[in-house]
Amino acid sequence: MIFFAAMRHQMALMRASWQFLVLLGVLQPVVYLLIVLSSNPTAATVTAVMLMSFWGSTVWSGAGILRREKMEGTLAPTMLGVRDPRLVLLGKTTGASLLILVVISATVSLFLLLSGHAVVIAMPFWFAVGLALVAVTGTAAGFLLSCLFLLSRYGPQLSALAVAPVTLLSGLLIPVSVLPGWIQPLSWVINLRWVQEFLGGAARGAPDFTALGLGAVLTVVYFVLGAVAFERVAVLARKEGTLDLS
């Protein structure tokens, strides 16, 4: 129950900060779409636009949840609840991912409709499955990063640093195969890369189920690492007294 309560709570918070939602969920994909519209957009480019927007939003919304809670003094009361705070954080990151994904999807669809560009999705069912996985991967990444960023006082700077490398390593801007050979293995541990490959395949009519599996496994790993990192954050905070009462 607390998972869903936290999810709704986070969505309400984001709706109350609607300017932030418009910036990340509407303006960001529109800018990307305007760039790719100079050529005829394909399902692959539209997918990349959605995922780039989603990743950028995840870093600033889901991944920043704990840091914002700490800044606003709401982390301490959250930790003092009897509910498992990891479930609360998980609910919040899920809420953030779902809301932002819905807004981005709606923006992209509306934009393509209004601009008269038709994008054909060869296998809509698997594409939808891929999109669902996108929400889960975003939640996992947000969950993990939120905990990691809280361990460092340089969370905002790390957030900014996380956007571009992950975008590159996921193959959203350019194919991973054109990256330098020594850097390509890094992309293997980025779940977004595999989800992007699966979505692209589903759009072309050739879904890559290995990519789907790898994306799912990595997502589970992110959740586990996030839970471990959170426990570490909680223990450190109780040892050092870094969760202020006011």
Partner 1 sequence: MSIVVEGLSRSFGGVRALDDVSFEVASGEVVALLGVNGAGKTTLTKILSTLLLPGGGSARIMGHDVVGEAKACRSVTGVVFGGDGGLYGRLSGRDNLRFFAMLAGLGRRGLRARVDDALERVGLGAAADRAVQTYSKGMRQRLHLAVGFIASPQVLLLDEPTVGLDVIEAQRLRDTVRDLRTSGLTVLLTSHLLVDVEQLADRVLLLQDGRIAEDLPLASFTGLAGYAALVVVRGRGPHPVPRDATVAVDGDTWELSLRVRRWDASVFAELGQELAGYEVSDLSVREVRLEDAFTKLATA
Q: Does 232 bind partner 1 (CB under 8 A)?
A: no
Provide the greatest CA pair distance for the chain. Answer: 58
Span interacting with partner 1, options 45-53, 82-90, 176-184, 211-219, rule CB under 8 A: 82-90
Candidate ranges 58-66, 94-102, 213-221, 237-245; the one touching partner 1 (CB under 8 A):
237-245
Q: Which of 39, 72, 116, 175 binds partner 1 (CB under 8 A)?
A: 72
**Gap between the Cα atoms of 84 and 72, Å rounded:** 20
Q: How far apart are CA 169 and CA 188, in angstroms?
A: 9
Location of structure tokens 């870093």: 59
CB of 122 to partner 1, least distance (A): 42
Distance CA(91)–CA(102), nearest Å, equals: 16
Residue 80: which residues within 8 A CB-CB, separation 6 or more? none
Work out how close the CB of 103 gets to partner 1 at its nearest, in angstroms, rounded to a whole number. Answer: 17
How many helices (H) and strands (E) in the chain? 12, 0
Among 38, 40, 177, 246, binds partner 1 (CB under 8 A): 246
Q: Which of 30, 37, 44, 83 binds partner 1 (CB under 8 A)?
A: 83
d(CA 97, CA 113) in angstroms, rounded, equals 24
Q: Contact positions toward partner 1, by CB under 8 A?
A: 1-2, 5-6, 9, 12-13, 16-17, 72-74, 76-83, 88, 237-239, 241, 243-246
